[in-house]
Structure 1
Amino acid sequence: MNVTAAKPHIKLGFVPTRRSIFSAPDAIKYRGLTADRMRELGIDFVDIDDINDEGLLFDDSHVQPIVEKFQAAGVDGIMLMHANFGTEYLCARLARQLGLPVLLWGPRDERPEADGTRLRDTQCGLFATGKVLRRFQVPFTYMTNCRLTDPEFERGLRDFLAVCNVVKTMRNTRILQMSTRPFDFWTTMVNEGELLERFNIQLAPVPMTELIQAVRDARTDEAGMAETLAYIREHMKVETTDDEAQTVAALANGMKALIDKYGCNAGAIQCWNALQAELGIMPCGANAILNEMGIPIVCETDIHGAITSLMVEAAGMGETRSFFADWTVRHPDNENGELLQHCGPWPCSVACETPRLTVPLAFDYPGALTAEARHGDISLVRFDGDNGEYSLLLGRAKGIDGPKGMGTYLWIEVENLKRLEAKIVEGPYIHHVVGIHRDVVPVLYEACKYLGIQPDFYDPIEEDVKAYLRGE
């Protein structure tokens, strides 16, 4: 089993546009400079240089050929690059047909000529296109009017690629649901039909018997078992019997086989208590192995938790692993401190020490990891909903010192824990959250506009996030 997470690949549709009353040669010049800069940054994009002699959008006859080219190439988002002024209604028609995330940008205009003439009027064109996109009800991302060499250009472009990755992931999600939710967990009930209708999120439910058979089948694959056991022994301090460690490996391989069989990119498992009667272990260590692969497996059949994990990892462009946690107890000494903890499913790369494969808190079965997570700055996120409305809880925290714990855990500090506590209790959120050692808050905030989800901050940081997105 290859435990290295696959890196996402995002392809951008590059649409430079001009208007006839300003300099066509200068527009052609800037479309070339922008394309060169994106190549320099390693951005994969599809050009429209074969649509007409100029490689620019400025006539209605260009729209359909661009649509067809981008659809054939499978682009994930488009960049409306205003090379002089831009033709706003053509941009809007194109964006409406494609239904993809839209980046609106143009290079900063130069100093006017000595006689007062201007070759370009880019900023004015951006104002016009923003209005017409709104008329067409096309959500878009605005990247500040800057120079190609400004740091805002690279940062804004890479953030937009991450936004595209979140949208692409959400629109192509299928979650392996391994058995029903535990009876006691009414908090994790979801509306399967609504998730499909609203977000194209599909569930692939399998009964516990099918999971157990997949584990039995995995045991017969000697090479696969040897590879996963080698990973366990290299990355974990094994404090279980050999047979128990083999069962952990077989469960990890069995879940991965079902993920592949049903074409899923995440899973949610009924982690107790039927599984223990069948296998005699907790699934946490096996979950951790798949989580390390960038395939989130969450606890207690929490489908919304799996969706959250996918969004968070997509926002981080697959470069940093996330961890699925309970909000548990307040810090004994820090009024704004809280313990994030779960029985032991966090990926090993999250830990600040070698995780122990052992028995978790509150259960007498082996197979869970115990390790403290790394400190530092983290983002905390939760997708959830009820009564037909969906929102995304967003915020930041930092890891701090605290009492020793069991399972996988991290003490964190937030700005105002009482405010956060009330936000979770009053809903629509539950006691589960996803953390990541990366600031993904601005990307997820921006992605919400394309997904029809309400962003919801637990601290009053929305203006700070908007300022970041403006390049301030």
Structure 2
Amino acid sequence: MNFKNIPDVKLGIVAVSRDCFPMELSAGRRQAVVKAYKEAYGDIYECPTTVESEVHMRKALAEVKEAGVNALVVYLGNFGPETAETLLAKEFGGPVMFVAAAEESGNNLIGGRGDAYCGMLNASYNLALRNIKAYIPEYPVGTYEEVAEMIKEFEPVATTLLGLQNLKIISFGPRPQDFLACNAPIKQLYNLGVEIEENSELDLFAAFNEHANDPRIPEVIADMEKELGEGNKMPGILPKLAQYELTLLDWMEAHKGSREYVVFANKCWPSFQTQFGFVPCYVNSRLVSRGIPVSCEVDIYGALSEYIGTCVSKDAVTLLDINNSVPRDMYEQEIKDKFNYTLKDTFMGFHCGNTPACKLSFKNMKNQMIMARSLEPNQEPNITRGTLEGDIIPGEITFFRLQSNADAELTAYVAEGEVLPVATRSFGSIGIFAIPEMGRFYRHVLIEGRYPHHGAVAFGHFGKAITNVFNYLGVKEVGFNQPKGMLYKTENPFK
């Protein structure tokens, strides 16, 4: 998918060289890395200036800026000049990766030895002295092909970091009663470089009413009808949903301000139904399919997490409640002996209807059953119409969240797993999820870490990239689903 709401990364590479090593060694190795990258992955700008001094640094900086580079690879083709190379990272102003060259041959360890393994230590130390953040791969010394692969792994991290630098979260609140779990201390948003605009639900209602009889409504309805197909079970609600979609999109454009990208964290119940006359889930699902996450229940950090997943995966994401256990009889009938998971490895992820149609095995426009119980019981649904129901498509997923906790500290978790190809027999946007050692992860990360019930879902295994993003952002400890035999700090060793 090609989203307008995430940045396009233009990679560039600059080789650096210490003055007591041959500059040609670093420059030649840079050329070989560029060749390997272009053959395997695509375009990258090769800066012609090799940086040996601060004067070279300024020249290289001008060249990469002129070329439109917004994510930079600093390549230690030999030991490298720690002052010039770290100043380059400081003055570049965007995401920077440091990586170093491995030696090529035992037959060339005199004139052809670069000592970049050693230089990488000095570079990392100098970056810390200058308080400069840089992306350093898991093992940052490699052959040309290995370095090319590391650069490719840097690309989704750079996409996310650029997106966060230019992101505004627009919220319409306040949170529903008893949803303090969606508490959102905003100080960490500013620390991350993210802007926030907080509005009242009444502001949204006023804007919605101003879009009554908008001439674009029929066109949006037609698009909804095409997407829903035979699942268009409640066509009478589409005009209001189309009016609401236009309201959000127009607000986004009018309120971007200095930012390029926008996500929403919106109130969606209980007074929403009685005043707007529908539930907004389907519209939320349509916007996230375009790379504009709209989180439920004014979950500001949920929206932020969804956006991170969108940037990393370049695909639609969703936000789900870590909702209910899989019944034992259902596990015995449908999962046991068919998949390598215990009952405690499984759970059901659910939300009312916000998952995009492209991520559902089937899709039906329905009403929200839970809301109807209290707002319009024992009658034909009216104000609770507007959810998109269906089982989530089976396949690999990454469940994750970035959160500012009650003490305004950044915390995060990441776990890889899958949605099983098992019918849920339930309602809403819902799937049966399986994550290895989920039961222990649930207790010792999610509960112990005081995380809210919402988790973001990316469709694929992106744990490495998302963890790299969280590490770059300064999250001190990223929780994950630890394997058997690897105890959590709070886990009782006596079983």
**If the length of structure 1 is used for normalisation, what is the TM-score?**
0.87
Structure 2 unaligned segments of length 5 or more: list them: 329-342, 373-383, 487-495
Work out the CA distance in 1 between the residues paired with 2:70 and 2:16. 19
Are 2:274 and 1:282 aligned? Answer: no
Residue of structure 1 aligned with 2:222, choices 227, 230, 234: 230
Counterpart contact for 2:395–2:418, Cα < 8 Å: yes
Work out the CA distance in 1 between the residues paired with 2:131 and 2:24. 32
- Per-residue deviation, residues 267-301 of structure 1 (Å, max 9, x unmatched): 01110122212221100011111011110001001
Counterpart contact for 1:28–1:83, Cα < 8 Å: yes
- Per-residue deviation, residues 96-115 of structure 1 (Å, max 9, x unmatched): 33454332223332224479
CA 1:294–1:369: 2 relative to 1, 3 Å: same
CA 1:420–1:30: 2 relative to 1, 3 Å: closer
Residue of structure 2 aligned with 1:378, choices 397, 406, 417: 397
Counterpart contact for 1:358–1:368, Cα < 8 Å: yes
The aligned residue for residue 340 of structure 1 is 349
Residue range with higher mean Cα deviation, 419-428 or 40-49:
40-49
CA 1:132–1:431: 2 relative to 1, 3 Å: same
Structural mapping, 1:90-169, within 5 Å: 90-113=84-107, 116-118=110-112, 120-143=114-137, 144-148=140-144, 150=145, 152-169=146-163
The size of the alignment, in residue pairs, is 447
- Per-residue deviation, residues 17-72 of structure 1 (Å, max 9, x unmatched): 112333333333233333344444565555442xxxxx100012223344455567
Work out the CA distance in 2 between the residues paired with 1:121 and 1:200. 36
The aligned residue for residue 442 of structure 2 is 421
The aligned residue for residue 183 of structure 1 is 177
- Per-residue deviation, residues 355-397 of structure 1 (Å, max 9, x unmatched): 1011123022110011000111110011112202111111112
Residue of structure 2 aligned with 1:170, choices 164, 167, 179: 164
Q: How many angstroms does 1:183 deviate by?
A: 2.5
Amino acid at match of 1:360: Q
Residue range with higher mean Cα deviation, 86-95 or 287-296:
86-95
Q: How many angstroms does 1:130 deviate by?
A: 3.0
Q: How many angstroms does 1:146 deviate by?
A: 2.5
- Secondary structure in 2 matching 1:335: helix
Work out the CA distance in 1 between the residues paired with 2:47 and 2:438. 51
The aligned residue for residue 416 of structure 2 is 396
- Secondary structure in 1 matching 2:219: helix
The aligned residue for residue 208 of structure 2 is 215
Work out the CA distance in 2 between the residues paired with 1:135 and 1:195. 23
The aligned residue for residue 322 of structure 1 is 317
Q: Percent identity?
A: 19
Counterpart contact for 1:309–1:434, Cα < 8 Å: yes
- Per-residue deviation, residues 294-322 of structure 1 (Å, max 9, x unmatched): 10001001111111111111121x2x211
Residue of structure 2 aligned with 1:452, choices 474, 478, 493: 474
- Secondary structure in 1 matching 2:400: strand
The aligned residue for residue 336 of structure 2 is none
CA 1:172–1:348: 2 relative to 1, 3 Å: same
Counterpart contact for 2:365–2:387, Cα < 8 Å: yes
Work out the CA distance in 1 between the residues paired with 2:136 and 2:90. 16
Work out the CA distance in 1 between the residues paired with 2:318 and 2:433. 14
Q: How many angstroms does 1:238 deviate by?
A: 1.2
- Per-residue deviation, residues 184-218 of structure 1 (Å, max 9, x unmatched): 312212223x1343222222223323323333344
The aligned residue for residue 437 of structure 1 is 459
Structure 1 unaligned segments of length 5 or more: list them: 50-54, 465-472
Q: How many angstroms does 1:74 deviate by?
A: 6.0
The aligned residue for residue 52 of structure 1 is none
Work out the CA distance in 2 between the residues paired with 1:123 and 1:186. 49
The aligned residue for residue 365 of structure 2 is 357
CA 1:438–1:8: 2 relative to 1, 3 Å: farther
**If the length of structure 2 is used for normalisation, what is the TM-score?**
0.83
The aligned residue for residue 234 of structure 2 is 240
Work out the CA distance in 2 between the residues paired with 1:183 and 1:306. 19
Work out the CA distance in 2 between the residues paired with 1:336 and 1:135. 44
CA 1:360–1:76: 2 relative to 1, 3 Å: same
Counterpart contact for 1:4–1:292, Cα < 8 Å: no
The aligned residue for residue 433 of structure 2 is 412
Amino acid at match of 1:146: G
The aligned residue for residue 3 of structure 2 is 5
